[in-house]
Structure 1
C-alpha cells in the first residue's frame, strides 16, 4: 500500500481508534474533541488502512494555523511527518501566512518538534510555542 494524505470529512470508528493512538499524550486530548468543519480541517497520513499521523489546520481569511501535529512514535523518522506537512501546505497554495503551534516533544533531551519545524522553514516567534513559516 501507498502512504496517502487525506483531508477527513468524517471519522470512522477505526479512525477514532487510530487517532487515540496518535494523540496518546494528555496534552493532545483536546485534539480528539475538535469538530471537523470548513475552517477546522483534519489532515491524516494513512497507510494500510490505518492512520499514522494527523494534524489540524485552522483557516481564517488571512492565515492558517497547524496544531496538534503528531506522528505515531513507531512510525517516526520515515518521512511521514514531512509528507503530511508538505501536503497540508500545498493544499492551500494561496495562503501566505502559515503558523504552527508546537507542543514540545523531547527525545533524549532534544526538542524534535523545534527541529522538525525549523527544518521546514518555520521560525520560532517571540510567543512561546508559536512558529511562523518563512515564505
Structure 2
C-alpha cells in the first residue's frame, strides 16, 4: 500500500499518539523554536501547516508545510525511527513539491543553521535551504 500524504487539521487521538511517537525520535534541534514535540504539534495543527504520511491508518512521518507569498517552506520533517529508509520522507517531500508547484511557488527547505542533516537533504534534493 502507498503512503498517503494529508494535511492534519483535526487529528484523532490516535493521530496525536502517532505524532508524539514520530517527534519523540527527533533530535532536539529539529523541534526548534518549540520547547518540545507537543508544542510543535499544537502550533502546527493550529496554523494548518502540519502534513503527515499515513500507511495502514497510522502516521509514520510528518512535517510543516508553510505557504508563503513568494515560496513555500518545508520544515520539521521527521519519520519514525522504526520506519526510516522506506520512502516515507521522500513521499512527504515529493507531495510538498507537487503542491507548491501546483500553486506556482518554489519549495524551499528550512532548518536551524549548521545542521548537516538538513544541508545534506537540501543537496540531495536540489532545494534551497532557509535558516530558521
Q: TM-score range, shorter-chain basis?
A: 0.7 to 0.9
Q: CA RMSD in A?
A: 2.4
Alignment partners' CA distance in 2, 1:124 and 1:41: 18
Does the 8 A contact of 2:44 with 2:64 survive in 1?
Answer: no
Aligned partners of 2:5 and 2:79: how far apart in 1?
A: 13
In the alignment, the residues of structure 1 paired with residue 82 and residue 112 of structure 2 have an alpha-carbon distance, to the nearest angstrom, of 19
In structure 2, relative to structure 1, the CA distance for the partners of 1:3 and 1:9 (3 Å cut) is same
The Cα shift of 1:2 comes to 2.9
Counterparts of residues 79-118 of structure 1 (less than 5 Å)? 79-93=87-101, 94-102=103-111, 111-118=116-123
* Higher RCO (CA 8 Å, separation ≥ 6 residues): 2
Gaps of 5+ in 2: none
Asked if structure 2 preserves the Cα contact closer than 8 Å seen for 1:19 and 1:51, the reply is yes
State which of 43, 46, 49 in structure 2 corresponds to 1:41.
49
| Of 63, 67, 86, the match for 1:55 | 63
Aligned with 2:80 (options 64, 72, 78): 72
SS in 2 for 1:34: helix
Distance 1:124 1:89, change over 3 A: closer
Q: CA deviation at 1:15?
A: 0.7
Residue 36 of structure 1: SS of its match in structure 2?
Answer: helix
Report the Cα distance in structure 2 between the residues aligned to 1:88 and 1:7, rounded to whole angstroms.
11
Q: CA deviation at 1:97?
A: 3.6
Offset at 1:121?
0.7
- The TM-score, its normalising length taken from structure 2, stands at 0.76
**Aligned partners of 1:16 and 1:58: how far apart in 2?**
20
Give the paired residue count: 121
Q: Name the structure with the higher strand share.
A: 1
